[in-house]
Homo-oligomer: A and B are copies of this chain.
């Protein structure tokens, strides 16, 4: 235990990414997200986050090769996923359980690379086992995004699907100090390790307030089904006091800056898959929803959030809704690792000052003399 007492209110400081919720801007290492998304691979974005610069060709080749060579899982990870499949554990919960095993047989120094490399393999193996299929061996000749798609169904993905998923992974790679990132930083701040920190991060991510509920956004879209039902469906939902899924964000008071890049990538993949109707439907839903929200909830400034176009894009790229949150974790893995490395350099334990608000000065009474307690449910 430390002998310091240097408490300061815990405000996250970072040089990794910046979020401006009023202006609607997100930048990774100073690059606005629209400079990167659709232009760089996930490997390039991860390199940028970790080293502060976009890689040149040689550095990128080396980095991507290092990642590719670390993709295979430890057998114990697969065994645990099998047990989870037998118990019908939801993918994100199974992945949360299994993240800790990604460190098996890996030296501490090698954990950052290995965690990021193995994450897509873990998600894909989880999904295949849950559906009664044997996991596949990673392809070393494919990039991070393409290999992820290959591992899910064993088919070489189309360039369009790869581009869509790559854009998603880059766009979601980091977002300031979110709750999951904060959990990871609290954990490494005790000088614990990066594997433990990522397990904690996935634990936080899977909560519905964070990344754990993207399915309903797509479900709402599919329920609406056609352009002529948009206005009546949304009005009915608002009239019944229900939330419009995919709108409003705790940080952004304007349209989420990730919407544009994800919408562009979604448009491309729906065109490639010859399903422009679904894309057109989503654009109409956004347009009508923003208008209705301004009328029904004046002053609240509710706009499309990242989930709205992320779920549209992932659906278009052929990812099942159960993998939306796990794929969010695949994307954020490099960001979490970057924050762990940054926190390790800061070398300050993240622990809040405690204010106690309960009773004081009570005295123990022997068991037999205690007054009867009122039996209650767990508090």
Contacts and interface: CB of A to CB of B under 8 A. Distances in A.
A14 B357 CA distance: 6
A241 B53 CA distance: 40
Contact of A18 (B40, B192, B345, B358): B358
A4 B251 CA distance: 8
Contacts of A11: 9, 352-355
Interface string A148-167: 00000000000000000000
A75 interface: yes
A15 B196 CA distance: 28
Given A76-B80, A182-B351, A212 B189 contact: no
A368 B57 contact: yes
Given A35-B364, A79-B83, A373-B55, A191 B178 contact: no
A204 B356 CA distance: 22
Contacts of A356: 13-15, 17-19, 27, 176
**Max chain B C-beta neighbours (<10 A), residue from A87, A104, A342:** A104
B179 A204 contact: no
A183 B200 contact: yes
Interface residues of A, number: 126
A248 to B, nearest CB: 3
Contacts of A54: 364-365, 367, 370, 373
B190 A205 contact: yes
Interface in A60-98: 60, 74-76, 79-80, 83-84, 87, 89, 93, 96-98
Interface stretch (A130-138, A276-284, A300-308): A300-308
A359 B205 contact: no
Interface string A331-373: 0000000000110010001111111111111111101101111
A249 B203 contact: no
A372 to B, nearest CB: 5
Contact of A75 (B12, B83, B98, B199): B83
Residue with the highest number of chain B CB atoms closer than 10 Å, among A35, A100, A350: A100
A317 to B, nearest CB: 22
A300 B5 CA distance: 11
Interface in A158-198: 176-180, 182-183, 186-193, 196-197
Interface string A241-256: 0000000111101000
B199 A203 contact: yes
A351 B187 contact: no
Interface string A86-126: 01010001001111110111000000100000000000000
Given A35-B364, A56-B367, A192-B206, 16 more contacts: A12-B355, A14-B357, A18-B358, A27-B361, A39-B364, A50-B378, A52-B379, A54-B367, A57-B370, A79-B80, A93-B193, A178-B351, A179-B351, A186-B186, A209-B349, A342-B379
6 contacts: A12-B352, A13-B357, A15-B356, A83-B101, A83-B104, A250-B349
Interface of A: 1-5, 9-19, 21, 27, 29-32, 35-36, 39-40, 44, 50-60, 74-76, 79-80, 83-84, 87, 89, 93, 96-101, 103-105, 112, 176-180, 182-183, 186-193, 196-197, 199-200, 202-210, 212, 248-251, 253, 300, 302, 305, 307, 341-342, 345, 349-365, 367-368, 370-373, 375-376, 378-379
Q: Which 9 A-B residue pairs are closest in the complex by CB-CB distance?
A: A190-B207, A196-B203, A200-B200, A192-B207, A15-B358, A76-B83, A3-B248, A18-B356, A97-B100
